[in-house]
Every structure is written in C-alpha cells, then in structure tokens.
Amino acid sequence: MRITKTLSASNDPILVITIHPGGVPPRYMVGTLLHVLYDHRSRDVLNIPCLSLLNQLSEYTMAQSSLPSLPLEIFEMICDELPTPDLAALVGTCCHTYHRTIHRFAQRYVEVYLDFSDTSLNHLHAISQNHIMRQYVQRLVVMAPEPYLGRDRPWHRTAAGHLRNPRDISSIRRFRDDLVHRLVNCRSFIISPIPSPEPEPSETEPSRDDHLVPDDVAYILWDIIADASLPIKLFWYGKGMNYTSETMDIKRLPKHLIGNAGFRASWMQLENLHLEHELTPYNFSFLLDLILHGPALRKLYLSLGPSDLAMEFFAELARSETLPGMLERLTLAFTTIQADDLLRILCASRLSLRRLDLSGVTGLSTGWLAVLSSLLGEFPHLETIELDTLYGGEGVTLSTATTCGLSQKGFGRGRGSLEEMGMKLVDLTSQGGMLDLSKMQGTGLTI
C-alpha cells in the first residue's frame, strides 16, 4: 500500500492510495488508513477531502471484513476529531463502520439549525428518517441572517398581517409530522436570528413582506404546538443583541392562541421560558398570558425594556393568582420593576428558588436587598444571587457586578448567620440608605 499527496486538475490537494493485494496484512492497512484520517487534523492536509480515501477504505473493508477488529476507542477518537462532513463520509464507508460511528455522528445533531428554507427543512426531514439520529435531536435553533428566513419561497399573509395557513404548505406539514411522530425528543425551540446587511433589491425577487420575519417563525411553531398539543420544555424567543427587526408584533402572531385547548395543554408542561422584547400596549397581555399559563416553569428570563409600562407589567404579574410558583431560577435583565413586586414574585417560589440574577434593572428602592436578606430564611434552596448594575430612583446606582454564593456560609439564613460572618443587616446599606455591596467583600462569599 502506498499513500501519496498530489494535486488535482483544479489544483486541489488530494491523497492517492495505491493498494497491492496481498502485500499488507488487512489489520495493518486499515489501521494505517485510519491513522492518516486522524492525522489530518494536525497537518497541512487538513482540508484534503476524505471521500476518495474513504471510498478506498470501504471497498477493501467490505471485502476483507477486518474493520470490526479495530478497538472502539480508535473509532471514537477519529470521530471526535473529524469535521462533520468528513465524519459523515466515514459513517457511510460500510455497514460495520456505520454501526460503530453513527451514535458519535448523531451527537453532532443535538441542536439542529433551521432557517425554514426548503433545504433546511429537507435536511431535518432526512435526520428524522434515521431511527438513531432522530433520537438525539433535542433543540431546534432558528439562527439565520435576518432577511433570509424562508427566502426560497413566497409566504402569503392574511389581511390581518399573519401568515395564511402555513400548515397547508407541504414542507411545513411534513415538518409538523416530523416533530410529532419522529423527533419525539425535540421539545425545545430557540428563535434568535442574526443580523445581515440588506440585500440589493431585485426586480425578480419578492418584496420583503413576502419573506419570513422572526414573528412568523414563532407563529409557525406556536401553530404546530397548538394543533398537535406538542409538549415542550423550552421556548426561547428574544432579540438580545442578535437582530433588529421589530418582534412581538401582535398582528403577525396567532390569534386566540391562549384560548386554544391544545396550546394550553402543551404550555402547561413548559419548564424554561426566555423572552426579550420591548413591551408595547399591544403585546402587553399576550406576553403576560405566556407567563401566567406556564405553571410548571422552572426557569424564567425576562428582558422587557426599562419603561413605566414594564413596571406596570411586573405589578400585574406579581399580583396574579396564577403566578408560577415553582421557579428555580429567575433572571431579569434591562427592565424596570419595583422592589415590592420583585419580592412578591420571589416569595411565590420561595420553596424552590435556587438562583436570582438581576442585570441592568431599574426601579428598585434603596435598601431592598436588606429586606431580601431578612427574608432569606424563607428560601431554603437559594444558592446564588447575581447582581449587575442595578439602578434606583433618578438613576442612582445601587450596585455593580456582584455574585454571592449563599450555600457555603449560609448567608442570610436569619440574622444569626449574618452576624457569624461579621455582618449585620445595617451593614448592607450606607448612611443614606444606599446599597453598598462592597460590604460583602472579604466575608467568605463567592464573589
């Protein structure tokens, strides 16, 4: 067997493999080929296509059946190092290789990225047809350049502004069936497209109104969830820093969604909800209902903008009879909330809460942390409080970045535990009632 490096007619590097029958024992030849594959990662042949090499490997091993004699550890090491296209080629060399590598390959598809083009929907459908690979898919992630969602087909809208019967489209109907019947472990959905420069307008291209926007993706997913009563674990829908389109435009979202029995049955099983949107008078009730109809929520992330409307939102949320009461983690970011409303929300989950994260939050009164500290004995499982740039009235800074680990020292489990660390409740506020979290330094907390 001889392996040489040369150039193709198009000047692409290739490997030429010459096999002389009977010249090399099968186990050594196969091992050498696999070693060359593995060694690609650290040499200038990294970008050499592996397909021709793998075809040679397949032809030989199918005849000699020596590949199964290699240790499984070698296969797994090779799989972990290969790029996904090359790993796919290795999986397809022969049936023996397939059975020993398919699980490693399938692990690359725990998250599947989708842009609702026919190409990406066909890719997902192909995964769903493999009885091993489909078991590994857990999350669908919509993270495509902003103008390119569903770009290869026209999307028709009703006069009200939302998509017209998306499940009547064959690829969307097939997508729905794949989720319901084959991708049974895929119950988490993340919508977070990325920005992209606007393309030059084209006379042959449909107008921007015919393209999908993030709200349309949410419409499709919610419509499928409601139609199939699809149980879900995570729903992440938030712009963050990722894109610029207006989101939670109520005209693009499903009408009467909360009143749909199938949707309510699905949403009641939701454990993780992440929402980043600017509140408006139009989406106020819709966002509120999404939270209040999730009684099983364990993790809640809300970033609703620093506005008086956000303050009203949290006031109504805190006083609702159906406020989720099993939260383990609450994160509020870049929004406005009053201290008493925050404490009401926290106390509703006092028996389950493990972590509180506040970042860029305004509206908190001075001294609120002292009140929280006095109540921490009612939070038996609370382990961490992370505070990052909090503001009180008139823009007064209440804190900068601080992380407090509460489990090791028992911080806040009553007044006695504070005093054991050389702190008192009055130490948490300055003379003017301003929070001074620097007092926490040197107390043995994880900061």
pLDDT of residue 382: 94
Residue 7 has pLDDT above 70, yes or no: no
Average pLDDT score over residue span 329-345: 96
Q: Residue 72: what pLDDT?
A: 82
- 441 within domain boundaries: no
Kindly state whether residue 161 falls inside one of the protein's structural domains. Answer: yes
Last residue within a domain, chosen from 105, 123, 150: 105
127 and 229 fall within a common domain: yes
pLDDT digit string, tens, across residues 95-105 = 878 888 899 99
Structure-model confidence comparison of residues 67 and 298, the more confident one:
298
Per-residue confidence (pLDDT) for residue 12, from 0 to 100:
64
For residues 235 and 348, state if they share a domain.
yes
| Percent of all residues in the chain with a pLDDT value above 90, rounded to a whole number | 47
- Are 97 and 151 members of one domain? no
Domain that holds residue 160: 109-196+209-396
Q: Which tens digits make up the pLDDT trace of 168-204? A: 999 999 999 999 999 999 999 999 866 655 555 555 4
Model confidence at 410, pLDDT cuts 50, 70, 90, reads: very low
**Residue bearing the bigger pLDDT, 43 or 435:** 43
Residue 207 has pLDDT above 70, yes or no: no
Clarify whether residues 295 and 380 are in a common domain.
Answer: yes
User: Do 38 and 156 lie in a common domain?
Assistant: no
Pair 134, 271 in one domain: yes
Q: Is residue 70 part of a domain?
A: yes
Given this model, what pLDDT does residue 334 score?
Answer: 93
Max mean pLDDT among 5-9, 128-132, 161-165 falls in 128-132
Q: Band the pLDDT of 286: cuts 50, 70, 90.
A: very high
- pLDDT of 26: 44
Residue of 431 and 92 predicted with greater confidence: 92
* Residue 237 confidence (pLDDT): 93
Answer whether residue 247 shows pLDDT above 50. Answer: yes
Classify residue 403: in a domain, yes or no. no
More reliable by pLDDT, 131 or 15: 131
Q: If you average pLDDT over residues 31-60, what whole number do you get? A: 48
User: Do the domain assignments include residue 47?
Assistant: yes
* Most confident residue range from 14-28, 337-351, 360-374: 337-351
> Mean pLDDT for the chain?
78
95 in the same domain as 117: no
What CATH number is associated with residue 354?
3.80.10
Same domain, 140 and 247: yes
pLDDT of residue 393: 64
Whether residue 447 has pLDDT greater than 50: no
Per-residue confidence (pLDDT) for residue 245, from 0 to 100:
62
In terms of domains, do 20 and 118 share one? no
Last residue of a domain, one of 377, 396, 415: 396
Q: Say if residue 313 is in the same domain as residue 350.
A: yes
pLDDT at residue 44, rounded to an integer: 42
Tokens for 261, please give them: 């029995």
Residue 160: CB atoms within 10 A of its CB come to 10
pLDDT number for residue 5: 60
> By percentage, how much of the chain surpasses pLDDT 70?
66
Predicted local confidence at residue 81, as pLDDT: 87
| Gap between the terminal Cα atoms of the chain | 61
pLDDT of 24 higher than 50: no
More confident residue, 301 or 192: 301
pLDDT at 248: 85
Q: Specify whether the CB–CB gap between 265 and 297 falls below 8 A.
A: no
The β-bridge partners of 427 are none
Final residue of a structural domain among 358, 375, 396: 396
Same domain, 265 and 358: yes
- Domains: count for the chain: 2
Say whether both 27 and 142 belong to one domain: no
Express each pLDDT in 375-401 by its tens digit.
888 999 999 999 998 887 665 666 666
